[in-house]
Amino acid sequence: MEMMRSAENKHFVLVHGFGQGAWCWYKLIPLLRLSGNRVTALDLAGCGNHRKQIDEVATVFQYVEPLFNFMSALPRDEKVVLVGHSYGGIPVSLAMQKFPERISVAVFVSAYMPGCKSPPATLIQEYFRRNTADSLMDCEVMFERGLENPPTSAIFGPNFMKAILYKDCKEEDLELAKMLMRPNGFYVEDLAKESLLTEGKYGRVKRAYVVCEDDEVMREEFQKYNIENSPPDEVKSIAGAPHMVMLSKPQELCISLLELADKYSSSDKF
């Protein structure tokens, strides 16, 4: 599949999902660069190669600190294409609220995409309402505040990773993930606070959603639930794409991101 070249140089900032790290973008990064763009992939606190352990990351704002630090250091006149996958939609949303003037478009790839009317935690609670404990197979889910409250953290199990999370990925990608996967917090208590996201900031940033049609983690009906409850400016779909689309269908994802970046970089809401 031939890659398109961007009309002008863009800066893509890639935010990984739950338990992952910057490493999960390794196939997509060279494709975006080959098309003439800059790319930054970040490790959130306690993930990937980040020095902190999960018990040292007590709040969601400590979790997103690497992303906030990066956004703060951007040149004043630079705007980025901010891309969040899966749980990465939560950090992306918080960055949109804090740095709306530095984002040309935010792209949610099979991701949690909250709105302003309900706290982001509502989406996490809805996800667990729709999924049974059996569907999580050998994942370890922690309830440090009691079973009557939402889960506090989790780590994916190898059987779940092989059958569901890394479905249709190459064996070497699955083995890499088994070596690098780390536990992740949900931060539901922090994300349950009202007014975390506002129309005046979060709502000012252009948003696009990329649906992965064969995703068995964030199922298509749940992705559509996100879209219906917080309508973005545009929706794209990738047919046959499972959850880890950046590994199984990197070219298709690259094309979608390039198209969105080219369309919305010329549109300025500020």
**Residue 47 is encoded by which pair of tokens?**
């993930």
At 3, the pLDDT band (50, 70, 90 cuts) reads low
Rounded distance between C-alpha atoms, residue 268 and residue 126, angstroms? 33
In the set 11, 173, 243, 265, the catalytic residue is 243
User: Per the domain annotation, does 201 fall within a domain?
Assistant: yes
Q: Which sign, positive or negative, has the C-alpha torsion 62, 201, 224, 122? A: positive
Helix (H, G, I), strand (E, B) or coil at 207: strand
Cα angle value 37/19/261 (rounded, 5°): 20
Mean pLDDT of 80-92: 98
Residues of the chain above pLDDT 70, percent: 96
In the set 43, 173, 190, 215, the catalytic residue is 215
User: Per the domain annotation, does 16 fall within a domain?
Assistant: yes
Q: For 25-83, what is each residue's pLDDT tens digit?
A: 999 999 999 999 999 999 999 999 999 999 999 999 999 999 999 999 999 999 999 99
If residue 38 lies in a helix (H) or strand (E), which one and from where to where?
A: strand 38-42
Q: What residues make up the domain containing 154? A: 11-265
Which residues on adjacent β-strands are paired with residue 11?
A: 38
Which CATH number do you get for residue 80? Answer: 3.40.50.1820
Rounded distance between C-alpha atoms, residue 103 and residue 94, angstroms? 12
User: Per the domain annotation, does 255 fall within a domain?
Assistant: yes
Q: Looking at the predicted structure, is the pLDDT value of residue 146 above 90? A: no
What is the domain count for the chain?
Answer: 1
Contact 250, 24 (CB under 8 A): no
- What is the value of pTM for the model shown? 0.95
Q: Which sign, positive or negative, has the C-alpha torsion 50, 254, 30, 35? A: negative
Q: Euclidean distance between the first and final Cα of the chain, in Å? A: 36
Q: For 93-111, what is each residue's pLDDT tens digit?
A: 999 999 999 999 999 999 9
User: Per the domain annotation, does 6 fall within a domain?
Assistant: no
Q: For 217-253, what is each residue's pLDDT tens digit?
A: 999 999 999 999 999 999 999 999 999 999 999 999 9
User: Per the domain annotation, does 206 fall within a domain?
Assistant: yes
In the set 6, 11, 50, 86, the catalytic residue is 86
Is 86 among the catalytic positions? yes
Mean pLDDT comparison of 163-167, 193-197, 262-266, highest-scoring range: 163-167
Rounded distance between C-alpha atoms, residue 96 and residue 114, angstroms? 11
Q: Looking at the predicted structure, is the pLDDT value of residue 268 above 80? A: no
Q: Looking at the predicted structure, is the pLDDT value of residue 270 above 60? A: no
User: Per the domain annotation, does 28 fall within a domain?
Assistant: yes
User: Per the domain annotation, does 47 fall within a domain?
Assistant: yes
The amino acid sitting at 94 is L
User: Per the domain annotation, does 117 fall within a domain?
Assistant: yes
